Amino acid sequence: MRVELQNIRKHFGEVRANDDISLIFEPGKIYGLLGENGAGKSTLMKILSGFQKPDGGKIILDGKARRFDSPADALAAGVGMLYQEPLDMPPFLVLENYLLGQRRGFAVNARQAAKDLRELGKKYGFDIQPEEHIRDLSLGERQQLELLRLLAGGAQLLILDEPTTGISTEQKVLLFDSMRKLAKDEGKTLILVSHKLDEVQDLCSQVFVLRKGKLVGEAKLPCPNELLVNLMFEKLPPRRERASREQKQVALELKDAVVATPRLELQPLNLTVYAGEVFGLAGLEGSGQEILLKACAGLLPIRSGSMQLGHQPLDQLDYHAARAGGISYMAAGRVEEGLVAGLTLTEHMALVDQEAGFFVDWAGSRARTKERVQHFQVVGTSESTVEQLSGGNQQRFLFAMLPSSLKLILLEHPTRGLDIRSTDWIWQQLDERRKDGTAILFISADLDEVVERSDRIAVFSGGRMSRVVDAAKTNAEELGHLIGGEQ
């Protein structure tokens, strides 16, 4: 299917997300769509996939102009999109989610549908079990299910928005193999929206670059990364070196701490994190590092052992007590766990206002929101809803909502979906926190980020913390071997 976008325009108040963009996508190819956060990439793809309506312009499929009123309309026409946040129903089973939106008539043959799902998953190397609950799947597995659902729905053009952020290396290899097979063997058209230039160079034959809502260039691949960076940013600010800090005061200490979920029980944990230290957690997805973060945030109970924040015991910790004690947790699921769909940025700021009384000071909340939006360089306004922000700007706003004084920040994939400039800027903000003695405990699927940003790294495998290494004395390749269980 040949897809053409003609003069697409989309405004959100004063923000011109898409400003007269025209593109052509031919069948059997993988295209890259690049641009910094807020450049308009996700908005353009949401318009193509029926999630949003354009203010002007045309979508043309195989020479015929089409109008989509919903993602279901787009999928019926052969256009499907895998969003940064999978569009699934966590309380439902995998099979029930697979059936969502499929036109199967009034009666559903669940046994046949489960068989179809297993066969389709096997075709692309995905191990999907129909009887599992969505809430028990990793982000990578949820993406695999969503991809299979789109293919079962007849998608000929597949859009993948930042598909590798937060998934394991093994899942990324599976995903890339599937993408190549879909394009080369099945003649489908794929569009990869990404900030990771190495992935775009590896997969795509052509790339389009957006900046501030406009199409500013395109290139055949492979090409020098410097060309793509210059198109994306015009000018990239110089990188600041992170100063090492002497660590003396204990911020967090776990002694023989046991935490468990229905899927995994962590073996007794002994861990010390110092004030002002950046401590990375590395391991395959589902190895236990996410469980540790949730326990430190008061979202999972400690069955035995002890945990202390400084000299304060936290054995009976709950989430509200953790926040009151100076702990903040930022989950990977921005809209699912961090933000509230439908609320404006001002309303979010009012929710986290620690000095709020019985009545809401809307003028004060609005003023604080404008100040935070400007300081954290969020592309949006105080009256924007969170859905109107790009994924990267949602992440920036989550940082903007953090309290000013904290003892411990827990971060799950803190730079997920962020471009190079935004990633450096976020870590500069975290470095300022370190100078005030805030400890940072974080997870990232990007091993280069873990090595580069951490002081020390704990390696997890199968629910066991196997070792703690000095980040200055290792590299991403060695860390990958350690995660794999090598000595």
Do 33 and 162 sit in the same domain of this protein? Answer: yes
The tens digit of pLDDT for each residue in 87-130 reads 788 888 999 988 876 766 667 788 888 999 999 888 888 888 89
- State residue 485's pLDDT score: 63
Q: Are residues 45 and 147 in the same domain?
A: yes
Domain extent for 399: 250-483
Q: Are residues 348 and 209 in the same domain?
A: no
Report the number of distinct structural domains present in the chain. Answer: 2
Residues 398, 469, single domain; the answer is yes
- Written as six digits, the tokens of 338 are 């961090």
Task: Clarify whether residues 344 and 479 are in a common domain.
Answer: yes
Instruction: Determine the distance from the C-alpha atom of residue 479 to the mean position of all C-alpha atoms in its chain, rounded to a whole number.
Output: 22
237 burial type by CB count under 10 A (0-12 exposed, 13-18 middle, 19+ buried): exposed
- pLDDT on residue 126: 86
> Is residue 239, in this structure, part of any structural domain at all?
no
Which of 233, 263, 278 is the last residue in one of the domains? 233
Confidence at residue 229, expressed as pLDDT on a 0 to 100 scale:
85
**204 and 297 belong to one structural domain:** no
Q: Are residues 436 and 343 located together in one domain of the fold? A: yes
User: pLDDT tens, 398-444?
Assistant: 999 998 889 999 999 888 777 788 888 889 889 989 988 999 999 98
Boundary residue ending a domain (233, 267, 291): 233
In three state form, how does the secondary structure of the chain look?
Answer: CCEEEEEEEEEECCEEEEEEEEEEECCCCEEEEECCCCCCHHHHHHHHCCCCCCCEEEEEECCEEECCCCHHHHHHCCEEEECCCCCCCCCCEHHHHHHCCCCCCCCCCHHHHHHHHHHHHHHCCCCCCCCCEHHHCCHHHHHHHHHHHHHHCCCCEEEEECCCCCCCHHHHHHHHHHHHHHHHCCCCEEEEECCCHHHHHHHCCEEEEEECCEEEEEEECCCCHHHHHHHHHCCCCCCCCCCCCCCCCEEEEEEEEEEECCCCECCCEEEEEECCCEEEEECCCCCCHHHHHHHHCCCCCEEEEEEEECCEECCCCCHHHHHHCCEEEECCCHHHHHCCCCCEHHHHHHHCCCCCCCCCCHHHHHHHHHHHHHHCCCCCCCCCEHHHCCHHHHHHHHHHCCCCCCCEEEEECCCCCCCHHHHHHHHHHHHHHHHCCCEEEEECCCHHHHHHHCCEEEEEECCEEEEEEEHHHCCHHHHHHHHCCCC
pLDDT at 283: 85
CATH code for position 193? 3.40.50.300
pLDDT of the residue at 169: 73
Check whether residue 395 and residue 267 sit in a common domain.
Answer: yes
User: Given 181, 205, 233, which residue is the final one in a domain?
Assistant: 233
Residues 201 and 254 in one domain: no
Asked if 159 and 206 sit in the same domain, the reply is: yes
* Domain match, 165 and 21 both: yes
Q: What's the confidence (pLDDT) of residue 103?
A: 67
**Does residue 15 belong to any structural domain of this protein?**
yes
Whole-number pLDDT of residue 243:
58
Residues of the chain where predicted confidence (pLDDT) is lower than 50: none
